[in-house]
Structure 1
């Protein structure tokens, strides 16, 4: 098992100014950092890779799609823009030495049609992500598609649905991820959901029900970790939490009040919690 920490707790864009933060992540005992990558190129990736190498950290990454690059858009040019965007992010990942790129790359967060997904949208997303997955394989990066709860998107909400989506894409470099925050909202039986996604599972986000310190909330952790052991998962466990460090993320993450004493408290106690239950 490898343990990571998503840097969105502090910043939407990692730069050389965050070298001390990366050193802290290593000092706290993490194996890697999860880099927010919403833009960037190969040069950016090389810089990020060197920063992580200097800190002694492996890395994963997370990204999203914008309305101008929507994989399920009825407009072919917009879907093509989504492919181009994700290929660029994958090139940045490869240059940075990123192992896995995760996130809700199937559609745009916060965009709603007023109903559930359609068969045509499913076909568009499969076609778009198939092209992305082929590029991911060529650059040596794994893609882990994320299901997101009903309040943030409508296309893929259930963990079981995202596993079925990855199976429909059917490319070696693309699978799904499991996120405990979204599963806490959408899944009646976390263990059953994990058993369903087992064949496609590439990445796991450990996130409390209030996005704060794992183990200090209401997620069904005993069932979750037991199921991860049952299916033999031994990849990345990455804490994804959000706070008030970035006002620009308050609205999209819906964090309006302080949920933990400090970022260090969350990082240190969250890691100890993961190791206790997954070790």
Structure 2
């Protein structure tokens, strides 16, 4: 098991300004970090990768698609822009040594059509991500599709559908992830959800129901960790939490009040919580 911390708790930047934070995360006992991949400055990612290697930290990346770069759009140009965006994000992962690129790569975050997904959208997304996976494979990066709750997207909302999506594409560089925050909203049975995606699952986000310190909220952690141990999950387990440090991100994630005593409390207590549950 590898334990990671998503840097979006503090920053959306990847440059030398985060080096002291990386050193602190290493001191806290983490195995790696999840880098925000929103800016495509290769030099910054290369420098960060060198720092991570110096510290002995592994890395994954996380990104999103926008309305102008949407894999399920009816507009061919918009779909091509989405493919280009994902390829650029893959390049940043390769530059930094990140092994996985995670996130809702299937469709634009926060964009709604007013109805459920269509068969045409399903096919469009699979086509774009199959092409992106070909590119990712060349760069030794695995694309990791994330399903989101119904308030953030309409295309993929549960583990079973997400697993079917990647299973049908059937590409070794396209898999999926499980996020306890979204599952807490959408899944009727946590154990069944994890078992339904076990053959496609390569990444886990540990996120509390209020996006604060894991273990201090309302997620059904007993069921979550029991299911992960049942399927012998042994990949990255990364804390994803959000605070008020980044106003734009706080607004996007609907964080209107402080949910934890400090970022250090969240990171250190969250790591201890994950280890205690997985090692018990």
TM-score of the two chains, using structure 1 as the length reference: 0.98
User: Is 2:179–2:204's contact at 8 Å kept on the other side of the alignment?
Assistant: yes
Q: How does 1:123-202 map to 2 (within 5 A)?
A: 123-202=123-202
CA distance in 2, matches of 1:138, 1:29: 32
User: Is 2:126–2:169's contact at 8 Å kept on the other side of the alignment?
Assistant: yes
Q: How does 1:246-257 map to 2 (within 5 A)?
A: 246-257=246-257
Cα distance, 1:42 vs. partner? 3.4
User: Is 2:15–2:45's contact at 8 Å kept on the other side of the alignment?
Assistant: no
Cα distance, 1:54 vs. partner? 2.9
Match of 1:57 in 2: 57
Match of 1:122 in 2: 122
The DSSP-based 3-state class of the residue aligned with 2:176 is strand
Structure 2 unmatched runs, 5+: none
- Displaced runs of 4 or more, over 6 A: none
User: Is 2:19–2:48's contact at 8 Å kept on the other side of the alignment?
Assistant: no
Cα distance, 1:79 vs. partner? 0.5
Q: CA offsets per residue over residues 196-239 of structure 1, 9 Å max, x none?
A: 00000010000000000000011111111111111111000000
Match of 1:113 in 2: 113
Match of 2:203 in 1: 203
- Say yes or no: does 1:81 pair with 2:81: yes
User: Is 1:62–1:103's contact at 8 Å kept on the other side of the alignment?
Assistant: yes
The DSSP-based 3-state class of the residue aligned with 1:165 is helix
User: Is 2:4–2:237's contact at 8 Å kept on the other side of the alignment?
Assistant: yes
TM-score of the two chains, using structure 2 as the length reference: 0.98
The DSSP-based 3-state class of the residue aligned with 2:197 is helix
CA distance in 2, matches of 1:41, 1:121: 31
Cα distance, 1:251 vs. partner? 1.2
Q: CA offsets per residue over residues 78-122 of structure 1, 9 Å max, x none?
A: 111111111111011111110111000001111000011001000
**Aligned pairs, how many?**
279
CA distance in 1, matches of 2:146, 2:197: 12
Structure 1 unmatched runs, 5+: none
User: Is 2:211–2:242's contact at 8 Å kept on the other side of the alignment?
Assistant: yes
User: Is 1:41–1:88's contact at 8 Å kept on the other side of the alignment?
Assistant: no
User: Is 2:33–2:60's contact at 8 Å kept on the other side of the alignment?
Assistant: yes
- Say yes or no: does 1:236 pair with 2:236: yes
User: Is 1:133–1:143's contact at 8 Å kept on the other side of the alignment?
Assistant: yes
The DSSP-based 3-state class of the residue aligned with 1:145 is strand
The DSSP-based 3-state class of the residue aligned with 1:148 is coil
Cα distance, 1:15 vs. partner? 1.5
Cα distance, 1:44 vs. partner? 3.1
Match of 2:68 in 1: 68
- Say yes or no: does 1:92 pair with 2:130: no
User: Is 2:225–2:277's contact at 8 Å kept on the other side of the alignment?
Assistant: yes
User: Is 1:19–1:55's contact at 8 Å kept on the other side of the alignment?
Assistant: no
- Say yes or no: does 1:19 pair with 2:48: no
